[in-house]
Amino acid sequence: MSGELVIFLILAILAISSSVMVIILKRIAHRVLSMAFAFFAVAGLYFLLRAEFIGIVQIMVYVGALSILFVFGMMMTDHKTVSFGPERKFAHKALSLVGVAILLGLMLTGIFSLDLPVNQELYIGTAEQIGIDLYGNYVIAFQGAGILLLAALVGAIVLARKEAD
């Protein structure tokens, strides 16, 4: 077992367990911390794939900006009165666990039965090349994403203004 595989397994287990902790923890502050750990693990996976630029962007945007955004949202709202519905019965939880275990088994069977060719050629993408691709070949998609985000922002403002009135 190579060192790269060991690091991958550690990061994968950290990402999956942190994601599960986001779902099962009760306190919102613990959920935000678990989410930040999951984002760090995904950034580590990007570094393992030799995509350093995307890994740094993952840390700056998701770990930094989104985690701070959630902390501010947590401080500014009354989250103590929020409930997620009635408590589920044990049979429902057990059936869900069995379903997830079966799905995991099927996914792992499919993954381990794959016969992928080994590609020894490394992709070395620099920030300059990503910028040229983004603003050259994919400029229409980039502009479309910007317009879509602007429409979502305007829609959120309109919805928030209606609730305030």
Q: How many CB atoms lie within 10 A of CB 163?
A: 6
Would you give per-residue pLDDT tens digits along the chain (165 residues)?
788 889 999 999 999 999 999 988 888 888 888 989 999 999 999 999 888 888 888 888 888 887 787 777 777 766 665 566 677 788 888 999 999 999 999 998 988 888 877 776 666 667 788 788 888 888 898 899 889 989 988 888 888 776 655
User: H helices within the chain, ranges in order?
Assistant: 3-24, 28-48, 52-57, 67-76, 90-112, 127-132, 139-164
3-state secondary structure of 126: coil
Radius of gyration of the chain from its Cα atoms, rounded to whole angstroms: 21
User: Torsion angle, CA of 15/16/17/23, rounded to 10 degrees?
Assistant: 110
Residue 165 CA to residue 161 CA, distance in Å, equals: 6
Name the class of domain 1-80: mainly alpha
